Amino acid sequence: MAATCATNGAMTAFSSADHPHRRRNLLNGRWVLVSPHRARRPWQGDRGVPGDASGPGHDPDCYLCPGNLRANGERNPAYAGAFAFANDFPALLVDTPAPAAADPLFPVAPARGEARVICYSPDHSQTMAEMPVPAIRALVDCWAAESAALGARWANVQLFENKGAMMGCSSPHPHGQIWASDFVPGEVVDEDREQAAWRAAHGQVLLDQVAAREADLGERVVAAGAHWLAIVPWWAVWPFETLLIARDPVGRIEELGEGARDGLADILRRLTGAYDALFATSFPYSMGWHQRPADSADPAAWRLHAHFNPPLLRSATVRKFMVGFEMFGESQRDLTPESAAARLREAL
């Protein structure tokens, strides 16, 4: 980007690496403020505890380890790979009464669904970044099977993982969750609207165009393969946020072919390994898949993708806080996406 502006009577060339500017997120329509000069400010604020995935391969007190009792009194089987089961404390219930007619000032709507847990591995200490690629491939197959089964009954299937205590994870055993609902959540509604609008205006799939352009430019690419592209998106909010885009014409994870599933296992191992290497810590993040919901405005506009939103900013102990302007104005970041991508590439 190049432009000039007047500063105290002098014309200064604009630099996206030095000057504040805004970038629009094409997936949800919202803007993010980029303030790269602030990355140089001193830090005397909170320093969290570094993530640590070390520990025993089996913890007798863990509710998720093979053979152990869960909080509801059920015993886990002696599972050897990815293991999915109904969440003992689900956020959504299959049968729940509909609320009474709402006052216009206090809208309310019913919410029904299912919540499930997926243990990634029987090893209590083994995060995705440490799992062998074949084990991650088995997890991909589990995601796909769960998504297909739940998608036959519910409007939206949300696969996600909160990794690390810093992201509010309630158990150190590597695991993710699935929430399937009879409604389409707001983030997915926004992405459905924007992708449909893009295809209507341009005749092409938005994320196909993003992936092609990013692959050509290279400056925000973290890792690439025949079936997947991992980038720090142009509109990234979190310091080392990444977007993992399917390069095949698929809108749901169960639609992935064998080659794409193999490629996904490989790039997940590489990407999460780069995160851990960046600050020599078990890198916390929230990861979530976005896939085509039922009754999409334009099913052909969808391209399967995953978001990785990690909080760490400067080190294993200094995180990004979404407060102040972020809460009351719009998202803001200091480190540019281009700089973040370069650092992640170096960590691969």
Return the ∠ at Cα 218 (arms to 39 and 167), rounded to 5°: 50
Terminal C-alpha separation, the chain = 28
Report the candidate in 140, 123, 103 with the shortest Cα–Cα distance to residue 269: 140
Please report which helix (H) or strand (E) contains residue 59, including its range: none
Active site residue 307: no
Burial class (CB in 10 A: 0-12, 13-18, 19+), 40: exposed
Show the tokens assigned to 100.
Answer: 């009474």
Provide the sign of the torsion angle of the four alpha carbons 208, 151, 262, 116, taken in this order: positive
Q: How many Cα atoms within 13 Å fall on the side-chain side of residue 49?
A: 6
Q: Helix 258-278 and helix 337-347: axis angle, to 10°?
A: 100
Report the candidate in 187, 113, 178, 182 with the shortest Cα–Cα distance to residue 139: 178
For tokens 């520990």, name the residue.
Answer: 55
152: DSSP letter? T
- The overall longest dimension of the chain from CA atoms, in Å, is 73
Strand partners for 244:
230, 306
Distance CA 33, CA 23 (A): 7
Give the phi and the psi of residue 119 in degrees, each rounded to 5.
-80, 125
Catalytic residue among 124, 175, 305, 307: 175
Distance CA 3, CA 138 (A): 50
Distance CA 198, CA 192 (A): 10
Strands 31-34, 331-333: pairing kind? parallel
Q: What residues are annotated to the active site?
A: 175
